[in-house]
Structure 1
Amino acid sequence: MNKQLFDYANRQYQLRDYPTALIAFTECLQDASAPLAPGETGLLYHQIGNCLIKLNNPTEAIQAYTQASADPQYAAISTVECNLGMAYASLRDYEHAVRCFRLSVEEGGNETPYKAYMGMGNALMKLGKTAEAGVAFREAALDEANPDVTKALLNLGLCFMALDRPLDAVASYESALPFEMKPATKNKLYANLGQAYVAAGKMTEAVGAFEEALRDKTYFLSDAASVDYQRAIGVVAQGQADATQMLPVADVSGLDVAADGMPIGDGFAGAQDPFYYDDLPQDENFPGYLGMYDNATDGQDHFFNSTDKEIEQWSKGIAKKDRKRRNVGLKIAVAFIVVVILAAAALVFAYTQGYGYPTQEMVAKELFADPSAAADSLFSGATSPENAKTMTEFVAADPDARVDGVNRSMTESEVFVTATTDEGGQVTYRVSMVRDLASWKISNVELYFASQS
């Protein structure tokens, strides 16, 4: 490898001159006068991918990272796979993202698996695989290399809430409280804890959590959290310390931490990168590597120039965090066992409540997107092709048709849809569906009028 050109590329990368760094790394890769040693092909493609990420070009970055991962002599494959996962996730290709994150944690030598586990959990949440996402967030929280377990614990709490396990969500949120975090994050944590308490019927504790969230007067509750706060205040005012039974968790969308947790593809709060990714590790053979850490100067000079007393205080702080982390791990391990046990039960429960995949809403949307081209697969086996054609002929094509409501049961459902005609009028339909294993099929489509309700 042309070491001089490589070091120049590193310096430009450190200076955030990513276009120049990209050109230099590419020239280094193509320099026939300096043959590449084993592993250096993966190294250069890795850095080319990082430059492309910095330039907000995840599609080409995926191609570069794929080339890097194909080099069997490259030692940082786990990092490359994690970066690949983030790149796929930024393009909303969550299936490929999960596969890459899994490869990242399965590869040997991954010193920061929490990054892959966090990305995996986010992608699984996008895919609706809540229980699996919870497992990933739990692993991220248990990783001793994780400098900020609060994000993992917040997301784990969200998973428990989505699985209708508010008491376990409470345990997860409470486990995060001892850790240092920004005031805004702690306010969000208390707001989420308040909602979990309400869902668990613990109204006194809920009022206390909400008041902590609002104490510094810089935080505003979401609409759903505000409703829960007022509900808790009302119960406590009536002299009831706790609700008589746990309240159903019907809507987790109002929780103050979005289901993404750490947003994928849209940027972390306060972060400069388009999404989370790793730069290269240090390597004594290439001194320029250290300069490729964006945060290389964040506190390093201070650390290396610290007095013995400062280092001792720093070590005590790390030891204290390690003790907290071990306690959190025990709590999480105990709390999360129920997810594994209940995963199958949750699927059965969802089936009995009328849920499936594709959902009733998805089937209805597909019908109205292009009724004339509606596939026979949308209709139940008991519906003849002639009847299906007759039903679709009077359906107004509207890709933006609005689903007004769904009446669900285990075997039959009704979807009410309002479509806009070419003339600008609105027509409401009742789409009847029947269960077909895990999915739903259309059995009838008819006009619906309010007087019929």
Structure 2
Amino acid sequence: MNNQLFQQARSAYAQKDYQGALEAYQQCLQDAANPVAPGEAGQLHHQIGNCLVKLKAPNEAIQSYTQAIADEAYDARGAVHYNLGMAYAALHDYENAVQNFEAAVSDAKYDSSYKAYTGMGNALLKMGKSAEAGMAFRNAALDEANPDPTKALLNLGVCFMALNRPADAVASYESALQFDMQPTMHNRLYANLGQAYVATGQMQKAVNAFEQSIADKTYFLSDSASVDYQRAIAAVAQGTSEITQVMAPVSGAAPAAAGAADTSGIDVPADGSGMYAEQDPYGTQAQPSPYYYTDPYGPEAAGQYDTAAADDRFFSASDEELEQWSRGVAKQERKRKNVGLKVLVVIVLLVLVAFGAGVFMYTQGWGYPSQDSVVTQLFADPDNASSLYSAEVSDSSAASMTDALVKDSAPTINAVEKSMTDSTAYVTASTEGGGQMQYKVSMVRDMIGWKVSNVELYFPSQN
């Protein structure tokens, strides 16, 4: 292998010149004067895959990583499998992602198993396999090589809440407290812990945890967390700091029914980031039809005097006939005017009725596009749903919410709570692996339609 060219490629990669590094690695691979030895081909394909990931070409990266694995002499196979898992996850192919993460942790030479376990847990959550995801996060937390088990413990707590095991979630969150963490992570941890305390009926502890999460005024509770906070405050104010648990925190308890009514949930992803944010690949509206009005001066207008002989009869008619004729004309004139007035009144009434109906429907949360339509579009193509988000939602927040969505062309909309200015939809989406994920989609009024303001995972874990 041309070592000089290889070092040039590594230097270009370090300087973030990924295209230059890619070209140099490819030249090194194709250099006939310096053929690559067994093991070196795998190394080069590994590095080429890394460059392709940085250049946002996951399909091509997968091809390169696969070639790297084909070189049996290359001994960094665990890292390559991890990168393959991340590339498949970026393409939402979670089954292949999980298979590669499993291959990574089975490699005894791979010393960053916690990364593969974390990726595996995220992929399994996407597939609706909360129990399996929990095992993966547990392994990530227990890996002695993991320099920061906090995120794994937070996500483990999320899995326990999804499995209707809030007491175990409390234990997981409390375990995370012993580690140093950034303020944002610290606040999110206490918010999740507060919700777990509410689920186990420990209301005073819940109040304390929620207040801890918002103490520095930089963190804002989600809608579901705010509801739980108010419930806890009300319980404590009534002199009940410990109440009957709203769900049994028993290990192995059956998950709550999917259709159960609930106003609670959890802040996820627990670490505040997208599940597959960019990682270091090293594992490293017809005009209306015109109205036609009958001519009021037709034959019926003059009674026994038709309009063709009207002028002659006028000069020869008797006074009595003239009076009768005059009364007939006057009557028809009034009729003509009344017809116009009636038409005007009808039009005005129709407009008022339509306006009133529109106002009523508006106040009842109706709009176009409807909430159902917005939700269906959101899940049908999450990656191209930026136009569905409210202008108040930042790009980073929209990206984070999109990352948490499961693509489903026909999601089940379980219920929609409507009001004039905001609405909330509870949705169940099916994953590619046959699992189900439940979401709470908050929307705000946008002219006559609706826009998404927030998306969060929803766990029917309490009444």
Residue of structure 2 in register with 1:228 after alignment: 228
Taking structure 1 as reference, are residues 105 and 277 closer, same or farther at Cα in structure 2, changes over 3 Å only? same
Amino acid aligned to 2:186:
K
CA–CA distance in structure 2, aligned partners of residues 69 and 237 of structure 1: 62
Instruction: Note if contact 1:190-1:213 (Cα within 8 Å) is conserved in structure 2.
Output: yes
- SS of the counterpart of 1:405? strand
| Correspondence 1:373-384 to 2 at 5 A | none
Instruction: Note if contact 1:89-1:264 (Cα within 8 Å) is conserved in structure 2.
Output: no
Structure of larger gyration radius: 2
Query: C-alpha displacement at 1:252, in angstroms?
Result: 9.4
Residue of structure 1 in register with 2:210 after alignment: 210
Residue of structure 2 in register with 1:70 after alignment: 70
Amino acid aligned to 2:167:
L
Is 1:150 the counterpart of 2:150 in the alignment?
yes
Taking structure 1 as reference, are residues 404 and 3 closer, same or farther at Cα in structure 2, changes over 3 Å only? closer
Residue of structure 1 in register with 2:428 after alignment: none
Taking structure 1 as reference, are residues 24 and 253 closer, same or farther at Cα in structure 2, changes over 3 Å only? farther
| Correspondence 1:405-444 to 2 at 5 A | 405=414
CA–CA distance in structure 2, aligned partners of residues 39 and 24 of structure 1: 18
- SS of the counterpart of 2:205? helix
Residue of structure 1 in register with 2:371 after alignment: none
Is 1:263 the counterpart of 2:274 in the alignment?
yes
| Correspondence 1:245-324 to 2 at 5 A | 245-247=245-247, 254-258=265-269, 263-265=274-276, 267=277, 274-278=278-282
Instruction: Note if contact 1:122-1:262 (Cα within 8 Å) is conserved in structure 2.
Output: no
Task: Give the root-mean-square deviation of aligned CA atoms.
Answer: 2.6
Is 1:172 the counterpart of 2:172 in the alignment?
yes
Taking structure 1 as reference, are residues 224 and 2 closer, same or farther at Cα in structure 2, changes over 3 Å only? same
Alignment gaps of 5+ in structure 1: 268-273, 281-364, 370-398, 407-415, 417-437, 440-453
CA–CA distance in structure 2, aligned partners of residues 67 and 245 of structure 1: 54
Taking structure 1 as reference, are residues 279 and 139 closer, same or farther at Cα in structure 2, changes over 3 Å only? closer
Alignment gaps of 5+ in structure 2: 249-255, 285-375, 381-407, 417-433, 436-463
> Percent of pairs identical after alignment?
60
Instruction: Note if contact 2:151-2:270 (Cα within 8 Å) is conserved in structure 1.
Output: no
Amino acid aligned to 1:277:
P
Residue of structure 1 in register with 2:238 after alignment: 238
Amino acid aligned to 2:133:
A
TM-score, length-scaled by structure 1? 0.60
CA–CA distance in structure 2, aligned partners of residues 201 and 253 of structure 1: 13
Residue of structure 2 in register with 1:85 after alignment: 85
Figure out how many residues of one structure are paired with residues of the other and give that number.
287
Give deviations 1:402-449, integer Å, cap 9, x for gaps. Answer: 85538xxxxxxxxx9xxxxxxxxxxxxxxxxxxxxx99xxxxxxxxxx
Residue of structure 1 in register with 2:111 after alignment: 111
Give deviations 1:20-75, integer Å, cap 9, x for gaps. Answer: 00000000001111011120000000000000111111111111111101110001
CA–CA distance in structure 1, aligned partners of residues 144 and 272 of structure 2: 20
CA–CA distance in structure 2, aligned partners of residues 157 and 186 of structure 1: 14
Give deviations 1:220-243, integer Å, cap 9, x for gaps. Answer: 000000000000000000001111
Instruction: Note if contact 1:122-1:261 (Cα within 8 Å) is conserved in structure 2.
Output: no
CA–CA distance in structure 1, aligned partners of residues 70 and 155 of structure 2: 33
Taking structure 1 as reference, are residues 116 and 4 closer, same or farther at Cα in structure 2, changes over 3 Å only? same
Instruction: Note if contact 2:130-2:159 (Cα within 8 Å) is conserved in structure 1.
Output: yes
